[in-house]
Amino acid sequence: MTRVRVTAPLSAARPATQSREAAVESEVGQLFVRSLIRTQLRLALVVACGFLLILCAFPLLLAAVPGLAETRVAGIPFDWLLLGAGIYPVTGLSAWLYIRTAARNEARYRDLAEDK
């Protein structure tokens, strides 16, 4: 009795791998990949720097405006509210913006890579 290995045809199962292989082989493909990496890195750095700037601005704001830290909102001191809760929406918003833009960059790359 002979054993036969049953596999799906490669071309049908992994079209992505093929287009990715093609991208490595050709000059133009590599150019697209390099530009995608550069765009994504720039995006990540911009979002990270923006977030860190806002993060630094919070304690500076508290230091710059006297009395602000002691102001109470619903019984909670304002500095606790700002540092303990206010930073999280900024984090979420940065993440959401990044994901949207990163996906758009990838869609643009895909269009280029398929058109060529």
Partner 1 sequence: MRPGTATSPRTSDLAVNPAVGLVALVVVSVATAVIGFYGLRISRTTGDFYVASRTVRPWWNASAIGGEYLSAASFLGVAGLILLSGTDALWFPVGYTAGYLMLLLFVAAPLRRSGAYTIPDFTEARLDSRAVRRVTSVVVVVVGWLYIVPQLHGAALTIRITTGLPAWVGSVAVVVVVCLTVVAGGMRSITFVQAFQYWLKLTALAVPVLFIVFALAGNGSAAVAPAAVNPTGLAPAGPYQNISLLVALLFGTLGLPHVLVRFYTNPDGQSARRTTLIVLGLLSVFYLFPTAYGLMGRMFAPDLARSGQADAVVLLLPGQLIGGTARDLLSALVVAGAFAAFLSTTSGLVVSLAGVISQDVLGGSVRGFRLAAVISAVVPLGFALSTDSLALAGSVGLVFAFTASTVCPVLLLGIWWRGLTDTGAIAGMVTGGVLCGGAMVSGAALGAAGTPFWLAQPAAWTVPAAFAVMVLVSRATRQRIPQTMARVMTRLHTPERPLATER
Residues in contact with partner 1 by CB under 8 A are 15-16, 19-20, 23-24, 29-30, 33, 36-37, 40-41, 44, 47-48, 51, 55, 70, 76-77, 79-80, 83-85, 87-89, 91-92, 94-96, 98-99, 102-103, 106-107, 109-110, 113-114
Burial bucket for residue 52 (CB in 10 Å: 0-12, 13-18, 19+): exposed
**H or E stretch including 25?**
helix 15-25
For the CB of residue 4, give the shortest distance to partner 1 in the complex, in Å.
21
SS3 (DSSP) at 110: helix
Residue 13: CB minimum distance to partner 1, A: 11
